[in-house]
Amino acid sequence: MTSAADAGPATPPASGPCFLEAGDTALIVEFGRKIDRHASALVLDLAARLEAARIAGIVEMVPTFRSLMVHYDPMRLTAGELKAAIAPLLQGLEANERAGRKWLLPACYDPSLGLDLLEVAERTKLSVEEVVRIHSATVFHIYMLGFLPGFPYMGDLPPALHLPRRQSPRVRVPQGAVSIAMSMSCIYVLESPGGWHVLSNTPALLWDPRRENAGLLAAGDKVQFEPISLSEYQTLRARAESGEWVPEAQAAGASA
C-alpha cells in the first residue's frame, strides 16, 4: 500500500484509471499514484455509480485511498465482462466530494488514555492544549477502512502534528485509541498491535457485531472529535458496552 506520507493537495492523476486483476474474483480500478482528495473523490463516485448500476455478479466493493476493488462471482461474469461493464461508468467521473455523513465523536485526551500525548507535544514543540486543540478542530476525511474491521484511515492531519510512526510499536493498543502518524489519524476499533501515536480515546464502539450494521463509519464520511472529561468518557464507554449508546451521524451535507 502506498504510504500515507504521500498524501497531499488534490491533484489530478497523471494518467487515466487503469484495471488490475486481483486473482480470479476481484478487479481493481486504480486512479493515479498519490493519496489525495481528488483520487478519493473519483473512487467514491465510481463506487456510487456501480452500486446504482446493480451489475449482476458483483459481490462487494472496497474503496481504498486511490483505487476501488470490485469483488465478483466468476461463475456469473468474467473479468473481461466486468471491465466492459465498468468502462462506460468511468466517463465523466466527478472529483467533487460526495456528501457523506458527518460524525462528532467524543474523545478523552486525558494522559491516562492519550498514551503519547505528552511525547507528541514535546516532539512537535507545542503545548498539550495546542495539540488537543489542533487535533479536535480538524474535520477528518475517511479515505478508507482497513487493517481491522471498520478501522478508519482519516486525513488530512494538519502539518503541525505530522510525525513518523513510533520507532517501537506497541503490542497492545487499546480499543478506541485515537492516534496519529504522518498525515493521517485513525481509531483502533479493537485492541491490537500498532505503531501510531495515541492522543486520546473515544468511548464509541466503531465495530460492534451486536448491531445490524456492525461498522459505524464508511469511506467518504467526515469525523471531528469533541474533547470530553475522563468521567464523561467512563460513563459513555459503559453505556456503549451495554448497548445503550451509539453515536448518531449528522445529516449529509451538515456542517461538522
Residues of the chain above pLDDT 90, percent: 82
Q: Is residue 211 part of a domain?
A: yes
DSSP state of 178: E
Residues 137 and 208 in one domain: yes
Tally of domains in the chain: 2
- pTM, to two decimals: 0.82
Residues 154 and 228 in one domain: yes
Residues 77 and 195 in one domain: no
CATH number reported for the structural domain that contains residue 168 in this entry: 2.40.100.10
The CA–CA distances, whole Å, from 175 to 194, 204, 255 equal 11, 10, 28
- Among residues 62, 90, 118, the one where a domain terminates is 90
pLDDT of residue 15: 58
Residues 237 and 117 in one domain: yes
Q: Which phi-psi region, left, alpha or beta, contains residue 49 (left: φ > 0; alpha: ψ -120 to 50)? A: alpha
Q: What is the pLDDT of residues 106-161, one digit of tens each?
A: 999 999 999 999 999 999 999 999 999 999 999 999 999 999 999 999 999 999 99
Say yes or no to pLDDT of 7 above 80. no
- Among residues 68, 90, 112, the one where a domain terminates is 90
Residues 136 and 226 in one domain: yes
Residues 70 and 11 in one domain: yes
- Among residues 28, 55, 90, the one where a domain terminates is 90
Q: Is residue 64 part of a domain?
A: yes
pLDDT average, residue stretch 70-99: 89
Residues 140 and 175 in one domain: yes
pLDDT of residue 130: 98
Residues 109 and 82 in one domain: no
Residues 109 and 76 in one domain: no
pLDDT of residue 98: 65
For residue 28, the enclosing domain spans: 4-90
* CA–CA separation, 79 and 222 (whole Å): 33
CATH number reported for the structural domain that contains residue 36 in this entry: 3.30.1360.40
The CA–CA distances, whole Å, from 215 to 120, 142, 151, 212 equal 29, 13, 9, 9
- With beta carbons less than 8 A apart as the criterion, state whether 17 and 30 touch: yes
Residues 55 and 162 in one domain: no
pLDDT average, residue stretch 27-34: 90
Q: What is the pLDDT of residues 178-215, one digit of tens each?
A: 999 999 999 999 999 999 999 999 999 999 999 999 99
